[in-house]
Structure 1
Amino acid sequence: MSDALEHIKRVSGNIYRGGRIARSAATQTQDVIDPATEEVIGVIAETPTSEIDDCIAEANKAQKTWWKDYSAVDRAHALHQTADRLEELKPLLAEALTREMGKPYKESVDEVNWSIHSLRHSAEIGRVDMGRVMGPAVAGQMHYTLKVPLGTVAFIMPFNFPMVLLAWEAGAALAAGNACVVKPSEYTSLSTLLFAEAFDHLPEGLFHVVTGGGDVGRTLVEHSGTHGVAFTGSVPVGRRVSATCGDLMKPALIETSGNDPFIVMPSAPLDMAARAAAFSAYMNCGQICVSAERIYVHQDIHDAFVEKLVEETKKLRIGNGLDKVDMGPLVSSKERDRYEALMAKAQEAGARAATGGGRPGEFNRGWFVDATVLTDCTPDMDIFHNESFGPVAPVCRVKDFDEALMRANDSRFGLGSNIYTTNLSEAIRATEEIQAGMVWVNAPLLDNDAGPFGGSKLSGLGRQLGPEGIDTFRETKMIMIDPDCVAQDFWWFPYADAEMHPKD
């Protein structure tokens, strides 16, 4: 048995509580299945409500007793310690993540690295910006703001990037002075528990991981002991979380689906654009909220681009993420069924698979699918209006740049967007006119810890990363001080006779 499998077995059926892996009181569990082999590698506990109550109580105690009063420097130092620990755990975490959700080992290592970078950035942002001093409205007074933590934040996490998204969000929340209670995806709970051990030096009870399904998440969202929610997942669940938080007047970060456009114009170098489109459509088996899911190509270069995209797609090595591959399986049989139904509907509507379109024939186990280029696509197809979350590149011909912009904006979603062009006018217009939270010009899918990540429309509410990301997990308090305690007769009682209404 590999070292990673031994650690997966060690955390199987447990939660993270009190600064350590702890046996859950759960009486119900569900199997964790390796998506490349279909072997059961562990179980996750359905954390009971009483245990969640205890974790939230412990989190609030730790936040109020210690963490909120730590200096910003001490909190930053603690987060740097977590980053150091992740560096040590990197090989273990990467293998565990690949075994649990299927992505290539290289992508899992990248995810741990990105987590480390993000935690270090949050550590420094947390001690750089704690408010601001402004010019007073009254001479002699001091007016300023304080940025204060929410309290205890609940995190409902997805399976596609369980570590780095947790680092983005929990790192910012901790840097702001909050406690954290995390519910990972059922598909990536064991690797999240291993990830949580990098936080074991924090005050006891400050950071928790409780496992389970929708009922566990619902309890965290509705609980009076949580003071903010960060959710990443589907639109229907995101809407319910947002509605609940609205009723409770509880701050919420909501990141739901994407259906990102990828525009290719005649000035773009086609070899580069095709490589970029393949990467944008197939990375992580297409299970990325900012994947290129609607590819709009100018009619003058459409056929040449498709030919090059097919060439790039055929180069992909598909298989177990622990082998030398570029793309692993989808995360579960349920996800494969959903994805294949969407693909079948597209082909019934007239789309044609220029390459791929089925399952690789060399596998008799695992939830593998082909990387697929769909041509003859029309903008009205369902695949252009719903998140595919799988390795498909649907290509649609457009007559000019204006049509490309119009098609890009014809979506219920507005997370990311891409354009390949060397025409400066097209690039600037795209950045200004595409309705999305992020626009990548010749640089697809990049993140920057110093800049905000988030979308508009049905893609969600709020921002992660950058100064905007840490402000998601804190409130601004306005302070006004008169050090001399003088009378403010310019507006106090009694009002001056000269300011009364004049009589005839």
Structure 2
Amino acid sequence: MDAQEELDRLSGVFFTQGEFVASVSGTTTPVVDPATAQEIGAFPHVTAAEISDVVRAANVAQKAWWAESGLHRSELLHEVASAMRRISPEVAEIMTRETGKPFKESSDEMMWSVSATDYYAEIGRHSVGSVIGTSVAGQMHYTLKEPMGVVVVILPANFPVLLLMWEAAAALAAGNAVIVKPSEYASLTTLKFMEAFEALPAGLVQCVTGGGEVGRQLVSHPETHMIGFTGSVPTGQAIAKACAEQFKPCLVEASGNDAFIVMPSAQLRTAARAATFAAFLNCGQVCTSAERIFVHEAVYDEFAAMVVEETGKLRIGNGLGKVDLGPMEHAGELARFEKVLARALEQGAKVVQGGGRPEGLPVELQQGFFHEPTVLTEVTPDMDVMTEEIFGPLAPLCKVDSFDQALELTNSSQFGLGATIYTSDPVEMHRATNEIVTGMVWVNAPLLDNDAGPFGGRKMSGLGRQLGAEGLDTFRHTKMVMVDPAASEQDFWWFPYSDEESFTPEA
């Protein structure tokens, strides 16, 4: 594949009814390679009329899709997974060029997406309801699981394929059609990925590009039936409010500010490597990144030295090279992150590793949106960096004097996505899993996902769950059915009421 030729082919189009179609919109936005800051393509802001056509096609395709057998839907979803494997190198390359992440991470994302698709291809046909014990003899009572209809998936740029398939695979397995609205910073990647759906009926999966106005039209459209959103708290709140006006179901995965606890019994070198990975994976642009690292005072200095050592080993550069960290997604994110770091230093934190733009990059990368992975010490719980989402390459180390203080500070956040603890103490393990108020807790195993287990948060981290059986039901309605085959007279509660059951005044 000639990457630039492919980026040119994908520029200016959207994906509808199985084809790439040039938008009639006169408005486009340049796509910039974050490693070089050079323009590599453009995406259109589709028109309201184009959106209406896409929604109409999705509704037609969804009805036909749901009319198929569960086995047929499963077989086609497995074909989608196979196609994803075939096109993985090409999509991963474009993802790296557009988002900056290392090619290894882009490739991993594709394979994780394949796994989720194969998983939902199977459990989607496992059960579409259940028979329940009757409340009246001779009747049949059961539930049916039915699709929402047309599901809109609105995505961020940090995991443009994985977060799509966590929702789209479940939605399709449940019998829905899917309309994708990608991030403005991963639109060409998402368009390229549409090739994976070639085996599906035309119109079942479509992709429209643009900014917030495109998202608003999809959310408010009366013929879209559910919204799945991953992104910021303010946008998630706006979507939830808009959905509430129509009582439209929504899934919102918003921000995180995950804690990473290190106790004296932890295997410190392993914990230091884990914290380095958890803080700097995808340049820290992960909703479950370790953003508040609470370290017991008994091991704080030793642990901090290890994290500095591990961080110093990381290679920075173009994601298509032999590197561990690429650039941040775009110039705006880099500028925002630098303000976060400057505020931490203003409040008294100390840089012990990194702290600025990397030096010694090749000439072609010197305008890229790179920042060194940075470790901070002398961080206190009241600092802004410990209360807001960082979403960048920063590891703030905060000293605690006890396990109880670590738990208290962990739970003090307005967010509740995930948390990690490193310890060898079974009591601390047990207490952490039961007392930490988050949707996920990792004990000595940070950031792992499992297709068969739910992903999601509490508090300001969002609503609903992805993955697992719960993630499938997120995209299904439940219908209660009661059948009396004999059409029996139900005089035990029908009119006329018996005189014996009427009110009798006391004598």
TM-score strictly above 0.5: yes
Q: Which residue, 252, 255, 258 being the options, matches 1:254?
A: 252
Quote the residue 1:476 is aligned against. 478
Q: SS in structure 1 opposite 2:266? A: coil
- Counterpart of 2:58, as a letter, is A
- Counterpart of 2:344, as a letter, is A
In 2, Cα distance between equivalents of 1:442 and 1:5: 42
Q: Which residue, 395, 398, 406 being the options, matches 2:397?
A: 395
Quote the residue 1:405 is aligned against. 407
Quote the residue 1:378 is aligned against. 380
The CA deviation at 1:12 is 1.0
The CA deviation at 1:502 is 2.2
Extract structure 1 runs of 4+ deviating beyond 6 A. none
In 2, Cα distance between equivalents of 1:252 and 1:5: 37
1:276-330, Cα deviation, whole Å (9 max, x unpaired): 0000000000000000000000000000000000000000001000000001000
The CA deviation at 1:42 is 0.5
- Counterpart of 1:33, as a letter, is V
- Counterpart of 2:386, as a letter, is F
In 2, Cα distance between equivalents of 1:251 and 1:244: 10
Quote the residue 1:217 is aligned against. 215
- Counterpart of 2:459, as a letter, is K
The CA deviation at 1:484 is 1.1
Quote the residue 2:491 is aligned against. 489
Q: SS in structure 2 opposite 1:373? A: strand
- TM-score of the two chains, using structure 2 as the length reference: 0.98
Where does the alignment leave 5 or more consecutive residues of structure 1 unmatched? none
- Counterpart of 2:464, as a letter, is G
Q: Which residue, 427, 436, 439 being the options, matches 2:438?
A: 436
Quote the residue 2:3 is aligned against. 4
Quote the residue 2:200 is aligned against. 202
Q: Which residue, 76, 79, 86 being the options, matches 2:77?
A: 79
Report if aligned partners of 1:20, 1:200 keep a CA contact under 8 Å in 2.
no
Quote the residue 2:232 is aligned against. 234
Quote the residue 1:307 is aligned against. 305
Q: SS in structure 2 opposite 1:37? A: coil
Quote the residue 2:40 is aligned against. 41
1:418 aligns to 2:416 (yes or no): no
Q: SS in structure 1 opposite 2:178? A: strand
In 2, Cα distance between equivalents of 1:49 and 1:401: 55
Quote the residue 1:322 is aligned against. 320
The CA deviation at 1:365 is 2.0
In 2, Cα distance between equivalents of 1:48 and 1:385: 39
In 1, Cα distance between equivalents of 2:115 and 2:192: 18
The CA deviation at 1:501 is 1.8
Q: Identify which range, 16-25 or 331-340, moves more after superposition.
A: 16-25
In 2, Cα distance between equivalents of 1:344 and 1:171: 41
- Counterpart of 2:61, as a letter, is A
Matched-pair identity in %? 56
Q: Which residue, 357, 362, 369 being the options, matches 1:367?
A: 369
Q: SS in structure 1 opposite 2:161? A: helix
In 2, Cα distance between equivalents of 1:10 and 1:76: 31
Report if aligned partners of 1:234, 1:257 keep a CA contact under 8 Å in 2.
yes
1:261-280 correspondence to structure 2 within 5 Å: 261-280=259-278
1:481-500, Cα deviation, whole Å (9 max, x unpaired): 01111111111112122212
In 1, Cα distance between equivalents of 2:4 and 2:256: 33
In 1, Cα distance between equivalents of 2:204 and 2:482: 32
In 1, Cα distance between equivalents of 2:124 and 2:319: 36
In 2, Cα distance between equivalents of 1:440 and 1:168: 20
- Counterpart of 1:173, as a letter, is A
- Counterpart of 1:216, as a letter, is V
Where does the alignment leave 5 or more consecutive residues of structure 2 unmatched? none
Q: Which residue, 168, 186, 191 being the options, matches 1:193?
A: 191
- Counterpart of 1:472, as a letter, is T
In 2, Cα distance between equivalents of 1:11 and 1:336: 26
1:69-108 correspondence to structure 2 within 5 Å: 69-108=67-106
In 2, Cα distance between equivalents of 1:362 and 1:177: 52
Quote the residue 1:27 is aligned against. 26
In 1, Cα distance between equivalents of 2:40 and 2:112: 26
Quote the residue 2:177 is aligned against. 179
1:449-479, Cα deviation, whole Å (9 max, x unpaired): 0000000111000000001111111100000
Report if aligned partners of 1:20, 1:197 keep a CA contact under 8 Å in 2.
no
Quote the residue 1:165 is aligned against. 163
- TM-score of the two chains, using structure 1 as the length reference: 0.99
Q: SS in structure 1 opposite 2:125? A: helix
In 2, Cα distance between equivalents of 1:465 and 1:50: 34
The CA deviation at 1:70 is 1.2
In 2, Cα distance between equivalents of 1:428 and 1:353: 34
- Counterpart of 2:32, as a letter, is I
Report if aligned partners of 1:260, 1:414 keep a CA contact under 8 Å in 2.
yes
Quote the residue 1:147 is aligned against. 145
The CA deviation at 1:20 is 1.7
In 2, Cα distance between equivalents of 1:91 and 1:153: 28
Report if aligned partners of 1:258, 1:289 keep a CA contact under 8 Å in 2.
yes
- Counterpart of 1:89, as a letter, is I
- Counterpart of 2:454, as a letter, is P
Report if aligned partners of 1:263, 1:420 keep a CA contact under 8 Å in 2.
yes
In 2, Cα distance between equivalents of 1:16 and 1:420: 45
- Counterpart of 1:454, as a letter, is G
Q: SS in structure 1 opposite 2:21? A: strand
Q: Which residue, 437, 451, 460 being the options, matches 2:453?
A: 451
Report if aligned partners of 1:19, 1:201 keep a CA contact under 8 Å in 2.
no
In 1, Cα distance between equivalents of 2:88 and 2:6: 13
Q: SS in structure 2 opposite 1:116? A: helix
Q: SS in structure 2 opposite 1:174? A: helix
Q: SS in structure 2 opposite 1:208? A: strand
In 1, Cα distance between equivalents of 2:32 and 2:223: 33
Report if aligned partners of 1:3, 1:92 keep a CA contact under 8 Å in 2.
no
1:109-149, Cα deviation, whole Å (9 max, x unpaired): 00000010000111111100211111111111110000000
Q: SS in structure 2 opposite 1:162? A: coil
Tell me the matched-pair count. Answer: 502
Q: SS in structure 1 opposite 2:223? A: coil
- Counterpart of 1:75, as a letter, is R
Quote the residue 1:117 is aligned against. 115
Q: SS in structure 2 opposite 1:169? A: helix
1:454-465 correspondence to structure 2 within 5 Å: 454-465=456-467
The CA deviation at 1:348 is 0.6
